[in-house]
Structure 1
Amino acid sequence: MQDPKKTEIQKALGSARSAFMSAGFFSLFINLLMLVPALYMLQLYDRVITSRSEDTLYMLTLIVVILFITMGILEFIRSRILIRVGNKLDTYLNENLFSAMFKRSVNEPGQATAQPISDLTNVRQFLTGNGLFAFFDSPWVPIYIAILFLFHPYFGVFAIFAVVVLISLALANEYSTKKLLAEANIESIQSSNFAGASLKNAEVVAAMGMEPSLRERWFQKHLSFLSKQSDASDRASVLSNISKNLRLLFQSLILGLGGWLAIQNEVTPGMMIAGSILLGRALAPIDLMIGSWRGFGAARSAYGRLNELFSKYPVKDKPMALPDPEGNLEAQNLVIVPPGGQVPVVRGVSFELLKGDMVAIVGPSGAGKSSLARALLGVWPLIGGKVRLDAADIHAWDKDQLGRHIGYLPQDIELFDGTVSENIARFGELDPQKVVEAAKIAGVHEMVLRLPQGYDTRLMGNAGLSGGQRQRIGLARALYNRPKLVILDEPNSNLDDQGEQALASALQTLKALGTTTVIISHRKQILKHVDKILLMAEGQLRGFGPRDEVLTALQSGQISLK
């Protein structure tokens, strides 16, 4: 049974334990077969050459060829197992990773990055690369040394000395590069995020001549990353080259030691050659560890970031499905602090909307209107109070189930790569009738038909469309599938007269359908379509009630926005 305290990546690696054990089992036989070259040399020098028996040579060679073919097959199987482990890890985590990334983007401003996907790729590539083989082969080092002791105690002592030297180099590599590699990874992520944010606002950058300044700032971040990575690589390469040369030197020196022992008639020439080969096998995993340390360091950092992400945003069990909402909305003494903020921007707001109510939230800039909208949607957490939809806490709803019944048009419209119809249908199951219905309610049907491929026109994000066109397609997306609750944040900020008329018609349709609608707007003409008005100033509710009563109270001075 899995420990609920473990993060998703720990559970994923735990679920692959049997596969790692299988890879270790194959490593057992692979390392046994690694003894074949040494034993072959031993037999050649001590039996074949002394007896001059061609039949023995042919038979030994045939056996060696068969064993090497077997070893190749086993290595192929081991590699396939680890590749499947990497794919299983990706499949196990990708859905939860995507969700955790979105949760962090909402709750931690400035962390809207796809870096976790790259981190998962780093971990998967390390698990399927040669670096991991060193960890499977290293337990065999003592066994190779034990065999060298059987040849001669001097061989064993020399092997221990060589292993200690290479392990010391590996530890020195870890000590000298760990901090630099971790800092370089952070600098790399920061410079990539900065470049991405700059490219996202390329039009502003180009229009106001900001490219040189932004390029210089990005270059400083990138230069810091390159400097630290280069320092770490320089240190690692020095130690790696020393390790490689020492391994070759030790293999040669043990030949010299074997030659001296052979002169003393304490070992045979075959043992001398076999000892050199066995020492090479004993040192190979350590040398491979040092050579692949950079990849191991990157994978370790990536694992740490993924583990931290899943610790902060664990997968939660889906709540019990509730009946489809009707649209009754209630706010109870809400206190809202923006993610990453310290000071409440909304304090003590309470009101109630019945099914089919249409309310306008108005007030000066910075009054907390958009913050309130995000809280009503359940996107932002609440410091105090409750938002209830049909008497149920908004955070108790299954988001996947509730999302079908919610329509939201934010101030900043973002469309996604895909066709117009896919964007309107929210990239779910595409129902052409519902897509056209939503487009007609939003008054965008005719505009879409004038696009090059109509509803099949592929959008590359926001490219190729004006602000008004994006806003109207965004409105159609919000109205898709006749939602029960619609929240429109500045829905007419980019609209021309024709768009204003289409929005007015859409509001009338929503009213006729009995859709609960919340509108945030600074334009007075929107007020004639609403039933109620909610006045906000400085994060507090200053007035709420039927439209005419609130407007009268405001004009008479009974309500003040100051």
Structure 2
Amino acid sequence: MKSPAFFQRSELTQALWSFRREFAMVGLFSMLANLLLLSPTMYMLQVFDRVMASQNELTLLMMSLITLFLFMVMAFSEWMRSKVLVRSGVRLDNLLGARIFEASFEARLSRQGDAAQRAFGDLLQVRQFLTGNGIFALFDAPWTPIYLGVLYLLHPVLAGIALCFALAQAGLVWFGHRKSVAPAQAATEASTEARSYLQSKLRNVEVLEPMGMVHHLLPHWTQRYCRSQGLHGKAQSLTHRITAWSKFIRYAQQSLGLGAGALLVINNQLSPGEMIAANVLMTRTLAPIDQLVGTWRGFIAARAAFGRLESLLQAHPQRDPRLQRTAPVGSVVLRDVVAHAQARATPILQGVTLQLEPGSITAILGPSGSGKSTLARCIIGVWPQVSGEVLLDERPLAGWDRRELGPYLGYLPQDIELFEGSIAENIARFGDIDPDKVIAATRSAGLHEMVLRFPKGYDTPMGEAGNLLSGGQRQRIALARAIYGRPRLVVLDEPNANLDDAGEAALVHVLQELRTQGSTVVIVTHRQGILAAADRVVVLRNGLVERDGARDAVLASIRNTAPAGTPSPRLLAL
């Protein structure tokens, strides 16, 4: 017996299952619309076999009015099912948009760039299929047997012909599905690769253009682009062949059905009215299957998008909203932390063990490539491939809700990124802006007077201010963002890389304030000026802790072991 977990629906399937009432309404309106599609057939039978024989104008008028009324009801049913699906599509976006937004960021953090970039494209693909002609074809297809039954009542031969053509169309759909999945997926992947390559180079155009590198990259992009176009051409060629065969079957059905009906009329087995009505009904019988042929490619794309979204949400489950944590004190413990990276056999960090106490300032030193920035990312929990333990207040860092923990963390990365919005919004992390906290953060970073000199002050958009800011000023804004709200754990990666003497003095002042308020501070640096503010120094080399202890003791140890004539402590960066 299968376990209950076997029957559990995935998060995405549960979201779609919540629309079962809407799909039931669509099915009801589809039933009404398909039943009323028999109206033209019945009207033709009455006109040809009764009205024209009796030449009764009143009967023709009444039959025409009744048929027009049924057409109006059919049009209303078509409109209502379209309206229900459109509203369901909007509701689906509202239901999954925020969830996919968060999961895509987590996927990007886990180095799953492709999944993050196309997540909303996949959601759009699923929504368009669920609200387009493809879903109508699925709801209309079950009515094909009913139309066949009506044809059988007119004459079994006509039903047999329609059944043969229906099976031929269904076989074409199956063949197209079998043959098109792999080419379509290969074309999509190649197109994504070419687009990603181009976007990555456009982001670095200021480096590529001055050094004349653009034309050197053109052949690399052309190779990817031509491969993508070739695969798309093969997939489209297959689609066109299937469409051509579908048209052949449809036209052959119309002509042969009419010919068979005429033969039955000649043999007095069918009336002329029944012949015309049967031909129209036969066309309607094959319409849903023909529509499936036209939408099978969209179905394949939607199914693939659904699978990717399902994998994304399963890989990054929603955190329990009932989980509440008290405000962290800031005590950090790392036990045997090993950090890996893709396409690298040797770990970046190899069993790092540290304990960081509140109110302390720890400087991480070491040569380039020793793992300093990786260690900083492990401490704040944004390095994806980590083994060992990273604890905040004796709880695993991965177990904290980021929305809850975020205000208590401050992080300044090497690559400064300021986002679209005002200066105040950037410093306040795009949350509710507390003017007092914003001003306190900018005063600590030595920015307050500079910001006031802008025409709009703190409301100056970053798009406008970004062109006026130097690298050091941008770094100080990012520093103000990192210390906004007095966080309990602050990690600064090369915070003085672009600072002048005034900026470095402001940074030292910030560190002193953080120590006073009891924050746990970690600084990654190559410059010796900031070491005066540190209580503790950790030296990394080749992913291992080479030295760890009080600042003066570690620096003295380095001076004693440094070769003669080597400047100290600049030795640490060599």
TM-score range, shorter chain: over 0.9
1:553 positional shift:
2.0
Distance 1:14 1:340, change over 3 A: farther
Query: Given residue 521 of structure 1, which amino acid in structure 2 is its aligned partner?
Result: T
Unaligned runs of 5+ in 1: none
Among 158, 163, 177, the residue aligned to 2:161: 158
Query: Given residue 507 of structure 2, which amino acid in structure 1 is its aligned partner?
Result: L
Task: Tell me which moved more, 93-102 or 276-285.
Answer: 93-102
CA distance in 1, matches of 2:344, 2:69: 68
Query: Given residue 413 of structure 1, which amino acid in structure 2 is its aligned partner?
Result: I
1:202 positional shift:
1.4
1:315 positional shift:
2.4
Paired residue secondary structure (1:404)? helix
Among 544, 548, 565, the residue aligned to 1:544: 548
1:293 positional shift:
2.5
- Provide the aligned C-alpha RMSD in A: 2.3
CA distance in 2, matches of 1:413, 1:357: 25
Among 415, 418, 443, the residue aligned to 1:412: 415
Alpha-carbon displacement from aligned partner over 1:195-247 (angstroms, at most 9, x marks no partner) = 22111111111122222233332232222222222222222123213323431
Query: Given residue 545 of structure 1, which amino acid in structure 2 is its aligned partner?
Result: G
Among 278, 281, 299, the residue aligned to 1:278: 281
Alpha-carbon displacement from aligned partner over 1:482-531 (angstroms, at most 9, x marks no partner) = 11111000001122233222222222222232222110000011101111
The alignment status of 1:472 with 2:485, answered yes or no, reads: no
CA distance in 1, matches of 2:6, 2:432: 36
Task: Tell me which moved more, 189-198 or 386-395.
Answer: 386-395
Question: Would you say the 8 A contact 1:357–1:517 is kept in 2?
Answer: yes
Q: What residue number does 2:536 align with?
A: 532
Paired residue secondary structure (2:338)? strand
1:463 positional shift:
5.3
Q: What residue number does 1:257 align with?
A: 260
Question: Would you say the 8 A contact 1:184–1:225 is kept in 2?
Answer: yes
Q: What residue number does 1:357 align with?
A: 360
In the TM superposition, 1:252-331 aligns within 5 A as 252-318=255-321, 320-331=323-334
Distance 1:128 1:463, change over 3 A: farther
In the TM superposition, 1:33-432 aligns within 5 A as 33-108=36-111, 110-111=113-114, 113-318=116-321, 320-338=323-341, 341-381=344-384, 383-432=386-435
Q: What residue number does 1:494 align with?
A: 498
1:259 positional shift:
1.3
Question: Normalized against structure 2, the TM-score is what?
Answer: 0.93
Unaligned runs of 5+ in 2: 564-570
1:310 positional shift:
2.1
Identity %: 43
| Number of residue pairs aligned between Structure 1 and Structure 2 | 562
Paired residue secondary structure (2:351)? strand
Question: Would you say the 8 A contact 1:462–1:470 is kept in 2?
Answer: no
Alpha-carbon displacement from aligned partner over 1:11-41 (angstroms, at most 9, x marks no partner) = 2122222221221121111110111111111
CA distance in 1, matches of 2:385, 2:181: 40
Query: Given residue 25 of structure 2, which amino acid in structure 1 is its aligned partner?
Result: S
Paired residue secondary structure (1:486)? strand
1:2 positional shift:
10
Query: Given residue 333 of structure 2, which amino acid in structure 1 is its aligned partner?
Result: E
Distance 1:316 1:187, change over 3 A: same
Alpha-carbon displacement from aligned partner over 1:419-450 (angstroms, at most 9, x marks no partner) = 11111111111112211111111112222223
In the TM superposition, 1:448-459 aligns within 5 A as 448-459=451-462
Question: Would you say the 8 A contact 1:328–1:390 is kept in 2?
Answer: yes
CA distance in 2, matches of 1:82, 1:3: 30
Query: Given residue 120 of structure 1, which amino acid in structure 2 is its aligned partner?
Result: L
Query: Given residue 327 of structure 1, which amino acid in structure 2 is its aligned partner?
Result: G
Distance 1:132 1:447, change over 3 A: same
Question: Would you say the 8 A contact 2:341–2:385 is kept in 1?
Answer: no
1:4 positional shift:
8.6
1:313 positional shift:
2.2
Question: Normalized against structure 1, the TM-score is what?
Answer: 0.95
CA distance in 2, matches of 1:36, 1:399: 60
Task: Tell me which moved more, 495-504 or 263-272.
Answer: 495-504
